[in-house]
Amino acid sequence: MINNDLFLKALKGETVERPPVWMMRQAGRYLPEFIAIREKYDFFTRCKTPELASEITVQPIRRFGMDAAILFSDILVIPQAMNIEVQMKPNFGPYLPNPIHSQKEVDNVIVPDVKQELDYVYQAIKATKELLNNEIPLIGFAGSPWTILCYCVEGQGSKTFNKAKEFCFTNPVAAHQLLQKITDTTIAYLKEKVLAGCNAVQIFDSWGGMLSPTDYQEFSWQYINQIIEALKDLTPVIAFGKGCWFALHEMSKSNASALGIDWTCTARNARYLTGGNITLQGNFDPSRLLSPPSEIKKMVRQMIDEFGKDKYIVNLGHGILPNIPLENAKAFVDAVKEYEPVY
């Protein structure tokens, strides 16, 4: 039994005394203790060393006491396991030296034995569960197939991912084959994560908002939904599509346990578009954590009032920024813990 199960209760839609809180990218670059580890070990060494990944995962919990931990890892471990070279360049970000542009290159992409290729992730989960000692749940995650395709085709981050879109629109057969390979790998990967001890999983569709509503259904949502269907009986699944407010109605009809909301969609619109029946997560603008702590607390209380304390998980609308002061992150978490509903 997990001592603090607020997060799991919210995912089930149960009544809670206050909503749970965690922050996307909470294990990371805004923490001095993380920076100390980063100075000693490169990015993928941190991901692939269970002792380091588990330590990084619990660092924010020790400091701020969130209601859930999220495993320190990266969405690009999936293409790495699929025989696609991925580098993480300092001050640049992901770099894939051999981007995929043809049917032949798609044919060379493998659906790996995830138990073997990604075993280091499952070992990190087990090490993290020991450190958490059943205090709070652990979240595992993966990128959406579309978001992974974006990096595989573009070769790096982009503001528009035009090359990825061009590949999908000019070579849809190959694009769908690649998306299906990523989907199959992701399903197997997340199932193993649950077996290793994750209490819930989240799918990050970071670049879903780059697509039109019609193209989103074809190149992103249908694959996310495959993952949800494959996992729904094993664990709660949170689907987060950044910039995808236009798909919230369709997403709400799925078997996802919760939907992530970014800061461009109001609580009122999110509840309206999803019919008010599904747990929502979000949607504090990460940049707003640069406001004074007293203002942060006020805005967080207002956000909870607007979403309602039930069927709601307090979070940011995207990952926490590296330049956020520690006392501001603390104010965000404390505001939720201090929240008392007005009846």
Question: Is residue 25 flagged as an active site residue?
Answer: yes
Please give the Cα distance from 30 to 56 (Å, whole number).
12
- Calculate mean pLDDT across residues 130-157: 98
Phi and psi torsions of 83, nearest 5°: 80, 25
pLDDT in tens, 288-309: 999 999 999 999 999 999 999 9
Please report the beta strands in the chain, taking only residues with DSSP state E, as ranges in sequence order.
Answer: 69-70, 87-89, 93-95, 138-143, 200-205, 237-241, 258-261, 279-284, 312-316
pLDDT in tens, 253-282: 999 999 999 999 999 999 999 999 999 999
- Calculate mean pLDDT across residues 82-97: 95
Reply yes or no on whether the pLDDT at 73 is more than 90: yes
pLDDT of residue 326: 98
The first and second tokens of residue 318, run together, are: 């995207």
The β-bridge relationship of strands 87-89 and 93-95 is: antiparallel
pLDDT in tens, 227-249: 999 999 999 999 999 999 999 99
Which one of 18, 46, 67, 151 is the catalytic residue? Answer: 151
Question: Is residue 95 flagged as an active site residue?
Answer: no
> In the CATH hierarchy, which fold is given to the domain comprising 6-337?
TIM Barrel (3.20.20)
Question: Is residue 205 flagged as an active site residue?
Answer: no
Reply yes or no on whether the pLDDT at 341 is more than 90: no
Domain range annotation of the chain: 6-337
Please give the Cα distance from 170 to 28 (Å, whole number).
38
- Calculate mean pLDDT across residues 126-131: 98
- Calculate mean pLDDT across residues 322-333: 98
Reply yes or no on whether the pLDDT at 104 is more than 80: yes
pLDDT in tens, 7-65: 999 999 999 999 999 999 999 999 999 999 999 999 999 999 999 999 999 999 999 99
Reply yes or no on whether the pLDDT at 154 is more than 90: yes
CB–CB of 100/109 below 8 Å? yes
pLDDT of residue 91: 86
What's the pLDDT band for 186 if we cut at 50, 70, 90? Answer: very high
Please give the Cα distance from 264 to 305 (Å, whole number).
18
Question: Is residue 46 flagged as an active site residue?
Answer: no
- Calculate mean pLDDT across residues 311-339: 98
Which one of 63, 74, 285, 301 is the catalytic residue? Answer: 74
Phi and psi torsions of 49, nearest 5°: -110, 105
Reply yes or no on whether the pLDDT at 342 is more than 80: no
Reply yes or no on whether the pLDDT at 181 is more than 80: yes
Q: Please identify which residue in the block is written with the tokens 């660092």.
A: 59
- Calculate mean pLDDT across residues 317-337: 98
pLDDT in tens, 306-316: 999 999 999 99
Question: Is residue 189 flagged as an active site residue?
Answer: no
Binding-site positions for substrate: 25-29, 44, 74, 151, 206, 318
Of residues 91 and 77, the one with the higher pLDDT is 77
pLDDT of residue 243: 97
Reply yes or no on whether the pLDDT at 114 is more than 90: yes
pTM across the whole model: 0.98
